[in-house]
Amino acid sequence: MIVTLTPNPSVDRTLVVDQLALGAVQRASSGWSEPSGKGVNVSLALRTHGIATRAVLPIGGLNGTRLAAMLDKAGIDHVNVPITGNIRTNVSILEPDGKVTKVNEPGPTLSADEVEALLDATLRAAAQASWLVGSGSLPHGASPDLYARLVQRAHEAGLRVAIDSSGPPLLMALPSGPDLIKPNAHELAEAAGRPVTTVGQAIVAARSLQERGARTVLASLGADGALLVEEGSVLHAEVIVENTQSAVGAGDALLSGFLAGGASGQLALRTALTWAATALQQPGTLLGADIDEDSFKLIFHDRPQPLRRLRAD
């Protein structure tokens, strides 16, 4: 069982246009809505591949009712923590070349009691879990130490914890010793306080976050694949996808595949990139169960090339 906490979930609306023209009225060729939020996306990917998961999230307002119904339809075991505010709606505008313009609402403001109820519900839901994942931005009203408290309480209960966030919530979680963090290149640079434009700089930045408490760093490097920095080892692998539809949700698929693959070593990284490649070939955030390994190329570097420049975040 892998339990996910999504403090600021959403209903995601995707609209497909031929070309986005700012300031103009346009017609979408298609559109759809999905349950979302980074932790929700992790649970959806895990559920698709038959791995037991449970999603914990605040639910409130008409959007909250809609989100809960979507999770029911997707077959996701979820724990709803009632709040008075309305869950946010995010909008993605997708162009044929895979470019996505995303507009995220700020989401509801949670009271101190609602935040505590969310933490309590998460720890109860994860009592028998193999991993607990805290993922995404924090809602208004939540202290930036929410993930730090989550890690502390989870470790007291004997749970392993992965954190996928950025800014103060990630930085404040580091001293608590999260078992895994999953920043992208930009988040890695921001957290380490140093530039990350080469593989070598990414390794140095990841090591600095380990020195501050993180045990394992799985860094998503966009077009340059992913970097896995564990105690005593570094792995770098990339995946070449010819038919990229959308990068939305690819990082969540990467984290899901890594946990599903055992959360350590080459097999886990291979599974992570395989799931990410599948996500890149789909227009929405929902991950398909069918993996066509002939549709992408996976390359492992026996020795990471420190001077190699990164092509994307």
Letter string b/e over residues 164-196, b meaning 16 or more CB atoms within 10 A of that residue's CB = bbbeebbbbbbebebbbbbbbbebbbbbbeeeb
Instruction: Identify the DSSP state of 96.
Output: T
Q: Is the pLDDT of residue 307 over 90?
A: no
> What pairing do the DSSP bridges indicate for beta strands 77-82 and 53-59?
parallel
Mean predicted lDDT score pLDDT of the chain = 92
What's residue 283's pLDDT? Answer: 61
> What pairing do the DSSP bridges indicate for beta strands 226-230 and 160-164?
unpaired
**Between 199-211 and 185-192, two packed helices, what is the crossing angle to 10 degrees?**
50
In this structure, what are the phi and psi dihedrals at residue 275, rounded to the nearest 5 degrees?
Answer: -65, -40
Give me the active site residues, please. 252
What's residue 188's pLDDT? Answer: 96
CA distance 3 to 52: 9
**Tokens read off for 131:** 């991993």
pLDDT-derived band at 240, boundaries 50, 70, 90 = confident
Q: For residue 216, how many other CB atoms are within 10 A of its CB? A: 21
What's residue 292's pLDDT? Answer: 66
**Are 255 and 44 spatial neighbours (Cβ–Cβ below 8 Å)?**
no
**pLDDT tens-digit series, residues 271-302:** 999 998 887 777 655 555 556 666 678 888 87
What's residue 146's pLDDT? Answer: 98
pLDDT-derived band at 311, boundaries 50, 70, 90 = confident
* Tokens 């449970």 belong to residue: 54
Name the residue among 40, 14, 42, 184 with its Cα closest to residue 99. 14
What's residue 70's pLDDT? Answer: 96
**pLDDT tens-digit series, residues 131-145:** 999 999 999 999 999
**pLDDT tens-digit series, residues 92-128:** 998 988 788 999 998 999 999 999 999 999 999 999 9
pLDDT-derived band at 304, boundaries 50, 70, 90 = confident
Name the residue among 133, 151, 161 with its Cα closest to residue 45. 133
Most distant CA pair in the chain, distance: 55
Asked whether the CA dihedral 134, 137, 142, 146 is positive or negative, the reply is positive
**pLDDT tens-digit series, residues 46-105:** 999 999 999 999 999 999 999 999 999 999 999 999 999 999 999 999 898 878 899 999
pLDDT-derived band at 208, boundaries 50, 70, 90 = very high
Over residues 150-178, the mean pLDDT reads 98
Q: Is the pLDDT of residue 169 over 80?
A: yes
